[in-house]
Amino acid sequence: MTAFKYNRPKGTQDFVPPQSERKFAVEMLFRELAGLYGYREIVTPTFEHTELFIRSSGIASDIVTKEMYTFNDRADRSLTLKPEGTPGVIRALLENGLRLPYRLFYIAPFFRYNRPQKGRYREFYQLGLEALGEASPLTDAEVVYLGVEFFSRLKITDCVVRVNSIGCRSCRPALREKLVSYLHTHQGGLCPDCNGRIELNPLRVFDCKNPECRKTLAEAPLPSNHLCPDCQHHFEVFLDWLTVLGVKFEVDASLVRGLDYYNRTTFEIISSALGAQISLGGGGRYDYLIEELGGPATPAVGMAIGLERTMFSMPEDQAAESRRKLVFVVWTSEKEFRPAWELVNRLRAAGIPAQLSYDRPKIRHQFHLADISGAIVAVIAGETELLRGVYGIKNLKTGEQHEVPVNEIVTYLKSLIGG
Ligand code: AMP
């Protein structure tokens, strides 16, 4: 054998079975739940014009300054692999003239050039949704509730919801003024990145993970203490409604989230699985983004959930089958190949997953293949059995063997695999 030569690029992952099947099940649950709340699926391109992300996520955001996979195509257009879902959805909403309000969800891979570690990848999947054209704080609460419901259906029980309000266009200027002057007087305690943010986008300092900056910001003026009456009201109704919905939450006054387009509500769903605090999902309101991207002034709120982090926060499924719903049909000599093949076709037509070996005439080899395929049962099409009008059955989980009449095989296998 030649030496193995290729590795996957840093920060990417393979989903091999059964992980790929678990991933599919999680996606299906999200689809089902989003559908229950009236969201419809949207699929947008994997890359967009770079400008779209600069305009939406913000020129000073980490995503834009450090993390985008940007390249020029052969016609010298600047394109970017999407680092997040919302901008593409808005672009598609406007380009396709969808009538508002509209609830949309998506499941897609996203790309960010960051330092890979457990739960942080350069390609990762998000399950996201956007309620476009809805202004009520009750929508914000319902979006959070849907996220919580999703995790609870997956038996992820250690979730905490953190919420905040970061105000609107009318309360921002006063906050900005106070924050900028605070940051100027505390410049020495801020990292070079945060110093650069003071004039460009001071709210972004709250994203900084640097412990020194965190200490400096402990006394900084906070958005939620500078809300105008309308934002205050929106925030209170949002919190009240979370309580009505039975969602446990904590107000986190420094939660601004890493993107520029949020206003009013921001939230994060955190899990303490694996000892560390990890953000499983988050989102917020973005009432100005659609207008900024050339559409009519339209309120909106959204959420994105990380699929990989969800998957490793899920408890190992104790009841997980070591065998899968598959029937492996074994033929004992060339003469039985044809009836075996016909049986496989009959089973498939009846909705029962079935397989047989085309390559290996030796029965011993076929049993080996049946075993490594993970099939739950082998059906043996043997000469003596067929003459007596029966199939041999070997349960590959228990090793138990018996016979089933030819005309009862479909019913028998259906009840065995629960199909
Ligand atoms: P964000 O788009 O940054 O608000 O992230 C929303 C969710 O996506 C996070 O809570 C994570 O679960 C997930 N996520 C974000 N970035 C990554 C990444 N680099 N690798 C894996 N999951 C991520």
Same domain, 309 and 336: no
| Closest by CA position to 304, among listed 265, 253, 269 | 269
Q: What is the pLDDT of residue 292?
A: 94
Answer whether residue 215 is part of any domain: no
In a shared domain, residues 81 and 162? yes
**Domain containing 358: what range?**
327-417
- Structural contact between residues 301 and 241, judged by C-beta atoms closer than 8 angstroms: no
Residue 374 belongs to some domain of the structure = yes
Which numbered atom of ligand 1 lies nearest the CA of 83? 2
**Do 295 and 337 sit in the same domain of this protein?**
no
- The reply to whether 256 falls in a domain is yes
Same domain, 28 and 124: yes
For residue 129, give the nearest of 229, 201, 39 by alpha carbon.
Answer: 39
| Residue identifier of the C-alpha nearest atom 10 of ligand 1 | 281
Q: What pLDDT does 3 receive?
A: 72
Atom 15 of ligand 1, nearest CA residue = 306
Indicate if 289 and 385 belong to the same structural domain. Answer: no
Give a yes or no: residue 98 inside a domain: yes
pLDDT digits (tens, 9 = 90+) for 59-111: 878 889 899 999 999 999 999 999 999 999 999 999 999 999 999 999 999 99
In terms of domains, do 341 and 302 share one? Answer: no
pLDDT digits (tens, 9 = 90+) for 302-324: 999 999 999 989 987 655 667 89
Atom of ligand 1 nearest to the CA of 283: 4
pLDDT of 285 reads 97
From 110, 126, 160, 256, the mutation candidate for ligand 1 (largest count of ligand atoms within 8 A of CB) is: 126
Looking from the CA of residue 279, the nearest atom of ligand 1 is 10
Atom of ligand 1 at shortest distance to CA of 268?
10
Cα–Cα separations (whole angstroms), residue 336 to 242, 348, 354, 367: 64, 18, 16, 15
Q: What is the pLDDT of residue 260?
A: 78
Strand arrangement, sheet containing 324-331: 354-356, 324-331, 375-381, 390-395, 401-405
Give Cα separations from 397 to 320, 322, 336 (angstroms): 13, 8, 25
Give, using CA atoms, the residue closest to atom 2 of ligand 1.
84
Domain boundary among 318, 336, 366: 318
Tell me which residues have their CB closer than 6 angstroms to ligand 1: 84, 112, 114, 119-121, 124, 126, 258, 279-282, 304, 306, 308-309
Ligand 1 atom nearest to 126, measured from its CA = 8
Rounded to a whole number of angstroms, the CA Rg of the chain reads 28
Entry pTM? 0.92
Residues 251 and 348 in one domain: no
Beta partners for residue 80, in sequence order: 48, 70
Q: What is the CATH number of the domain that holds 364?
A: 3.40.50.800
The reply to whether 351 falls in a domain is yes
Distance 408 CA to ligand 1 centre (A): 51
Same domain, 248 and 378: no
In a domain, residue 357? The reply is: yes
CA distance 181 to 201: 13
C-alpha 91 – ligand 1 centre gap (Å): 21
Domain boundary among 297, 318, 339: 318
Helix-helix angle 409-417:334-349, to 10 degrees: 60
Q: What residue's CA is closest to ligand 1, atom 9?
A: 281
Ligand 1 centroid to Cα of residue 281, in Å, is 7
Q: Which of 120, 127, 262, 267 to mutate to test the pocket of ligand 1 (most atoms within 8 A of CB)?
A: 120
CB neighbours (10 Å) of residue 173?
A: 11
Q: Which is the closest atom of ligand 1 to the Cα of 114?
A: 19
The burial of 7, by beta-carbon neighbours within 10 Å (0-12 exposed, 13-18 middle, 19 or more buried), is given as exposed
Domain finish residue from 285, 318, 351: 318
Among 278, 286, 277, 281, residue whose Cα is nearest residue 267: 281
The CATH number of the domain holding residue 147 is 3.30.930.10
Per-residue pLDDT of the chain (419 residues; tens, 9 = 90+): 567 789 999 999 999 999 999 999 999 999 999 999 999 999 999 999 999 999 998 887 888 989 999 999 999 999 999 999 999 999 999 999 999 999 999 999 999 999 999 899 999 999 999 999 999 999 999 999 999 999 999 999 889 999 999 999 999 888 889 999 999 999 999 999 899 889 888 888 888 888 999 999 999 999 889 999 999 999 999 999 999 999 999 999 889 887 778 999 999 999 987 566 789 999 999 999 999 999 999 999 999 999 999 998 998 765 566 789 999 999 999 999 999 999 999 999 999 999 999 998 899 999 999 999 999 999 999 999 999 999 999 999 999 999 999 999 999 999 998 75
Verify that 112 and 28 share a domain, yes or no.
yes
One domain, residues 284 and 339: no
Q: Letter for the amino acid at 393? A: I
Ligand 1 atom nearest to 120, measured from its CA: 20
282 touches 267 (CB < 8 A) = yes
Tell me, yes or no, whether 250 lies in a domain: yes
In a mutational test of the pocket of ligand 1, which residue from 117, 129, 309, 314 has the highest number of ligand atoms less than 8 Å from its CB?
309
* 276 CA → ligand 1 middle, Å: 15
Judge contact between 87 and 57, C-beta under 8 A: yes
How many domains does the structure of the chain reveal? 2
pLDDT score for 243: 98
What's the CA gap between 143 and 140, in Å, rounded?
A: 5
Same domain, 235 and 353: no
Kindly state whether residues 298 and 395 are assigned to the same domain: no
In a domain, 91, yes or no: yes
Distance 305 CA to ligand 1 centre (A): 7
Give the per-residue pLDDT at 318: 52
Query: Which residues on adjacent β-strands are paired with residue 124?
Result: 110
